[in-house]
Structure 1
Amino acid sequence: MLNEQDRAIINQGNWFNNCSNHLQHDLICHAKVVELNAGESLFLRDDNNCGVYCVISGVARVSGGNAQGKEAVLSFIPQAVWFGEVALFDGGSRTHDVYAQTTLRLVHVSERALNKLLSEHPAYWREFGVLLSQKVRLLFSSLEDQALLSAQQKVGKYLLMLTAFDSNSSNVYLSQQQLADITYLTRQTINQILQALSKQGLIALYYQRIEILDKSALEDNLNPPL
């Protein structure tokens, strides 16, 4: 069951907050809570479509892998963000693996419920199209960052992004290797950048956790004076 705090978090999401009241109501009515421990999988590449999800608390990790078992981290999904809509549009299987990076609590709206809602309310397709287009915009922005930002700016921007969705937390739960994967930098470079930021008093480093101590100063690092 969704409680009041769950609903408040869902309402913080940009996409959901801008949906029609009818779609908001229908999604909440059909939502079920899913809880995972850190490291457990939500779904894997090539699994059948099972609906859409929204993170209520914790962080989900999106990744791919090869036959040798090497994992490539592609993205992290923080709270209030909906995902899983790609398979809704093309009817295909899941494109990547999704794991619980931390203890994870989500809401799930099943494929069956979604198909029924979309059949009864075709206008909902456009609203899910907006969700998909937001992901495309984010992808283009990420590609631009890879081309234009310095290594330190890439790291700072990603750390800030992961904490922006939860005003009550300044912690980012990931390993240095995962941060290296997501920013397309080497682990050695990541370590050097994090150590430098730590010496400046902007972050504190722990095992698979980074605490942001000064968000304002970290933001200033993204826009150095000309």
Structure 2
Amino acid sequence: MISGTVKISVSSPDGRSAILNLIGPGEIFGEVAVLDGQARTADATANTNCEIFVIDRREFLPFVQSQPALAMKFIELLCARLRWTSDQVEQVILQDLPGRLASALLRLTEKHKLAQGGRTSAVTQQELSEMVGMTRESINKQLRAWAARNWVRLEHGAIVVLDAEPLQALAGAGSEDD
């Protein structure tokens, strides 16, 4: 990704969808299909205007085979993605709804690493609902409760994390607290 945001998602036959990841500038996607030559495991949809650099598998594989350092970087990337996916599965199975939402917000804001004034995640409540398996209404209710505690600030199309500590506690404990 050079610029913009791409949504990585899957859909069920009955029309439900789940967002697996949001990819931003400097990140890559589609690496599994490039490496194994199989169909993509998820859909990639531009969330904003995007500039994307496309790599052809026929050219990429010989190049990566001749560059061991690049091959190692790809292995590291795949390991990081596997760990991230394992964390997501663990959250869905073991965390309650507030814990899953807190984990998702922290994961998204960590990508941006913004300093003082909070960490902003340019994500809609609908997108969050598709990421954590909650209804948009439940997301809204939880975010408003956290906003009342000054943990987050809601902006149009974005959520600003003002105090990460209580969210980290929820993410770690999966507490029933709202």
Instruction: Give the TM-score, by structure 1 length.
Output: 0.63
Q: Which runs of 5+ in 2 are unaligned?
A: none
Q: Which residue of 2 aligns with 1:179?
A: 128
CA distance in 2, matches of 1:219, 1:80: 26
CA distance in 2, matches of 1:148, 1:65: 23
The equivalences for 1:36-115 within 5 A come to 55-65=1-11, 71-115=17-61
The equivalences for 1:1-226 within 5 A come to 55-65=1-11, 71-121=17-67, 124-168=70-114, 170-223=119-172
2:20 match: secondary structure: strand
Q: Residues 193-221 of structure 1, C-alpha deviation per residue, up to 9 Å, x if partnerless?
A: 11111111111223332122223343344
Answer yes or no: is the 8 Å Cα contact 1:79–1:165 preserved in 2: no
Structure number with the higher strand fraction is 1
How far does residue 87 in structure 1 lie from its aligned partner after superposition? 0.9
RMSD after superposition: 2.9
Answer yes or no: is the 8 Å Cα contact 2:99–2:171 preserved in 1: yes
How far does residue 65 in structure 1 lie from its aligned partner after superposition? 3.5
Which is further off, 55-64 or 184-193? 55-64
Answer yes or no: is the 8 Å Cα contact 1:102–1:173 preserved in 2: no
Q: Which runs of 5+ in 1 are unaligned?
A: 1-54
Instruction: Give the TM-score, by structure 2 length.
Output: 0.77
- The percent of aligned pairs where both chains have the same amino acid is 27
Answer yes or no: is the 8 Å Cα contact 2:124–2:157 preserved in 1: yes
Q: 1:221 to 1:58 in 2, by over 3 A?
A: farther
Answer yes or no: is the 8 Å Cα contact 2:103–2:171 preserved in 1: yes
Q: 1:189 to 1:86 in 2, by over 3 A?
A: same
Query: What letter is aligned with 1:100?
Result: A
Q: 1:103 to 1:212 in 2, by over 3 A?
A: farther
CA distance in 1, matches of 2:2, 2:17: 25
1:165 match: secondary structure: helix
Answer yes or no: is the 8 Å Cα contact 2:64–2:70 preserved in 1: yes
Instruction: Count matched residues.
Output: 171
Answer yes or no: is the 8 Å Cα contact 2:112–2:120 preserved in 1: no
Query: What letter is aligned with 2:142?
Result: I
1:83 match: secondary structure: coil
